[in-house]
Each structure stands twice: as C-alpha cells, then as structure tokens.
Amino acid sequence: MIKVNTHEAKLNFSQLMTQVANGQEVLITRSGHDFAKLVPIKKASIKRVPGQDADIAWIADDFNTELPDELQKYFVTTEESKPE
C-alpha cells in the first residue's frame, strides 16, 4: 500500500490514479492521521442477463396515473410543484 500526505496526493494525483488502476491501494494522510483510501473498483463477477426477470417483474397498466384524492392528501405539494 502506498502512503502519501494530502499535499503529495494533490501534486501526484495522475500517477496515483495509474497506481490504483494497476491494483494498488493508496492511503492519504492529513496531519499524520489516516484520512482517505483510494482503492480500485472490483468488477462484477456475474454477468447480467437482460430479460432474466421478464416473467417475474411487471409494471401495472395504471402505474403512471394520478393517485386518488384520499391518498393525495398525504403528500406535500408546493406552489412550484403544482402543474399549470
């Protein structure tokens, strides 16, 4: 693990990002105390399959219709959010 202070991190940001891209972790310190950690993002190990939930998930036909008045009273509206 690479350890640098905030000043060094600012000056060498591009090089640190290259190190992170190559799998290194970078610990950034401030006033001698650990402050932040830069780590590479782990890629998803499972590939997503489009449409795999097609028979499970659905959207109701009335999904986008206005709520009934008895439910709308529970939502706060402002003058800015009211349709014209």
pLDDT of residue 83: 59
| Integer CA distances (angstroms), 64 to 13, 30, 74, 83, in order | 46, 50, 18, 15
pLDDT of residue 84: 58
At which residue do the structure tokens 């006033």 appear? Answer: 31
Who has greater pLDDT, 67 or 17?
17
DSSP per-residue codes, 38-56: E-PPPPPSS---TTTTTTT
Q: How far is it, in rounded angstroms, from Cα 64 to Cα 54?
A: 20
**pLDDT one-digit tens code per residue, 10-65:** 999 999 999 999 999 999 999 999 999 999 998 878 888 898 888 888 888 999 99
What backbone torsions phi and psi does residue 16 show, to the nearest 5 degrees?
Answer: -65, -40
For the chain, which domains are there?
Answer: 2-38 (3.40.1620)
Specify the pTM. Answer: 0.52
